[in-house]
Structure 1
Amino acid sequence: MGGLYVCVERVAVSSAPLISVIVPVYNAEKYLRHCVDSILAQSHTNLELILVDDGATDDSPQICDEYAARDPRVTVIHQDNGGIAKAQNTGLDAASGDYIAFADNDDILDRHNLEYLLHALETTGADMSKARWRQFGVSQIADVAQEAAWGADEPSKVTVFAHPLTAYQTVFCKSLRLLGDKLGRNTEARYFNEANWCRLYRRELWEGLRFPEGMYAQDVMVAGELYSRMDKVADIDVVLYYWLQSAESVTHKQRSTGFYHDNFTAGATNFRLCLEKGVRPGRSYYTVVGSVNEQTTASDCSLQENRDLHEQDKKELSDLLAKLTVPQRIQCAVTQKLRLAEKYVYDRKIKNMR
């Protein structure tokens, strides 16, 4: 389902829905102001910005407090360091908005991010709306901030699709998405990953659902359950979020056995959920196979406890793959190989942005 974006008359702030924007903050003093400024400058002004200081040791806590002192829409929560999942959960517990959004503390939102995402949700009745994003390097931050402040044009199309869990699991190879678009299938619109940013959620989706604390891949861990709660998703074809590529981020530098094991655990959880719901677990196949293979490259893989963990995960992987039909296994293996090739290109071009 698609359609042109319809411009509606702006309503008074008092009658506009309240959106809670949750930003976990940890040692982000170099980029935090760009992020916060982009949120407070949103064209949809009825928002509450919840900054969760997760025990930062730089000037981030003071920066958060400065914003709270001059803008009543900002709430700051200081807590001992517990990881991003704990910070996200703290934000969810404190949120009072009708809708929920997340942002990373070093990223930048287009000034129309919330407005366009909200419009897509309310006009289509979807459970979640999403937009496109673009990566950028540290050297581009001033230009990106200016572009975001100027604001994107209204989207030309809103696409609504059903079965979000199926889309999450099967539409993830970039080359296949490009091919689908060339064939007129609008495949890119059905693509989304486990990231929580550049999305707008109806509040009720998060009732009784929280991120698992104390592990990596917390977003992957909840993805299956979250998307299985949705009936339909709305996509708008415009870039509304700018994702900083920094060598300091966990996903770009963390290479411990624990990191790979947690990714395996999260992938396996989604794998089993898909089997229960009759969905081919293409993305989760890629995650579990890759995580087990990459455990052998971890800097601490020679420790006996990590060897034992690797053997345990290998056994579970074998059990999971045995549950696939032959056609499912072939399809999953093909997309996994294709995605590995794409990842090689991605790592060389995107993760090395400066």
Structure 2
Amino acid sequence: MNDSVEISIVLPVYNVIDYLNECIKSILRQSNKNFELIIVDDGSTDGSQILCDRYSESDSRIKVIHQKNAGLSAARNTGLNHAKGKYITFIDSDDFVGEKYIEVLYKIIIESCADISMCDYMEVAQDTQISDVTFQEKYPIDKYYYNGKEAIANVYKNSSHGMEFVSWAKMYKLELFKSNGILFPEEKLHEDAFTTYKLFYASNKIAFVNAPLYFYRIRSGSIMTSEFTEKRLDMIQATREEYLFFRENRDFELMYLAFVDYLHKVKLILKMIFASAGDNREITRSVCKELDHDIEECKKSINIPMIKYVYYKGMAKFPRIFTSIR
């Protein structure tokens, strides 16, 4: 492996044998070849672990780390700890990337002296193969630049497709993680939401290109398509922590945007709870009690318009009624 490698690609793997070959092939066909690929096998049992080793035997850029199953966050953190590049990017092993994914993200992060570069993404069906998609050279590439706060506001306002609090479809200065002590929270769903906003907030400059260089596979039975379980409450916790983070930093504009997003996530989870068959009354009461407390605390920091305040309180006091209101 080249000791002067600039880019580390971290690929967490857990029982994705049906998609792993396509993912790794898409990485190895990158136009920019100067990278290390760190594959973290998180205790796979379906043959994925064997395929990873076969690839590492055929390409010196690939390093495979086998560990006991500890979850996606733990696998990403292992990759972070072993990365040698100045820049790092994360790819999920059931997704794949366009041929110029690394080239474009690296070029823009260098040219603009950014802390993070980002690209748009395209959702693809479960059985999609690399040969089925049209890659980025068919699309115009427009570039946009933000400071950290502007990028966060853009995410909350849904101003640009692809601007989201997800770890993939981005390239980061590795030092951004190291100097700010940022890791992915283990044993959490929606782990990106606990992490990415902190990286944005710590960034002086973020570059975004509108080309869909990352292909996000929609799988039935995946975390994002499954029904309500108590682990789904991690989504509420993540967005609540965003709100509290900005409140503690006295960044009241971002605090209120995060608070509105927190309310949206509460409403979404409550709808899932009410649609489920189990008895979740205690969970509902706990969620609404915490929400009611946060509404009052938020009101101490900013002037919430009365009509919105009444709606927010209604959500906390009468969730079944208010979750049915658009």
TM more than 0.5: yes
Offset of 1:288 from its aligned partner? Answer: 4.3
How many residues of Structure 1 are paired with residues of Structure 2 in the alignment? 302
Q: Does 1:213 align with 2:186?
A: yes
Structure 1 residue aligned with 2:74: 86
Question: 1:17, 1:218 → 2: CA distance?
Answer: 28
2:175 pairs with one of 196, 204, 210: 204
For CA contacts below 8 A with separation 6 or more, give which structure has more relative contact order.
1
Question: 2:225, 2:56 → 1: CA distance?
Answer: 31
**1:314-329 matched pairs, under 5 angstroms:** 314-322=288-296, 323-324=298-299, 325-327=302-304
Question: 2:278, 2:59 → 1: CA distance?
Answer: 48
CA RMSD of aligned residues (A): 2.8
Offset of 1:214 from its aligned partner? Answer: 1.0
Structure 2 residue aligned with 1:8: none
Structure 2 residue aligned with 1:168: 152
Offset of 1:331 from its aligned partner? Answer: 7.8
What TM-score do you get using the length of structure 1 for normalisation? 0.77
Q: Does 1:98 align with 2:86?
A: yes
**Cα separation, partners in 2 of 1:293 and 1:273, compared to 1, 3 Å:** same
Q: Does 1:258 align with 2:231?
A: yes
**Cα separation, partners in 2 of 1:53 and 1:288, compared to 1, 3 Å:** farther
Contact 2:26 2:98 survives alignment (8 Å): yes
The DSSP-based 3-state class of the residue aligned with 1:117 is helix
Structure 2 residue aligned with 1:152: 137
Structure 1 residue aligned with 2:246: 274
Q: Does 1:290 align with 2:265?
A: yes
Any stretches of 5+ residues in structure 2 without a counterpart? 313-326
* Alpha-carbon displacement from aligned partner over 1:131-189 (angstroms, at most 9, x marks no partner): 111111134325336x44xx525854321112x34433454455xx4xxxxxxxxxx38
Structure 2 residue aligned with 1:136: 124
Structure 2 residue aligned with 1:224: 197
Offset of 1:195 from its aligned partner? Answer: 1.0
Structure 1 residue aligned with 2:46: 58
* Identical aligned residues as a percent: 27
**Cα separation, partners in 2 of 1:108 and 1:273, compared to 1, 3 Å:** same
Offset of 1:17 from its aligned partner? Answer: 5.2
**Cα separation, partners in 2 of 1:257 and 1:141, compared to 1, 3 Å:** same
What TM-score do you get using the length of structure 2 for normalisation? 0.83
**Cα separation, partners in 2 of 1:267 and 1:206, compared to 1, 3 Å:** same
Contact 1:205 1:226 survives alignment (8 Å): yes
* Alpha-carbon displacement from aligned partner over 1:278-324 (angstroms, at most 9, x marks no partner): 2244355334443352463374752xxx6444333322211222214
Q: Does 1:33 align with 2:21?
A: yes
Counterpart residue identity of residue 257, structure 2 = G
Structure 1 residue aligned with 2:164: 193
Structure 1 residue aligned with 2:318: none
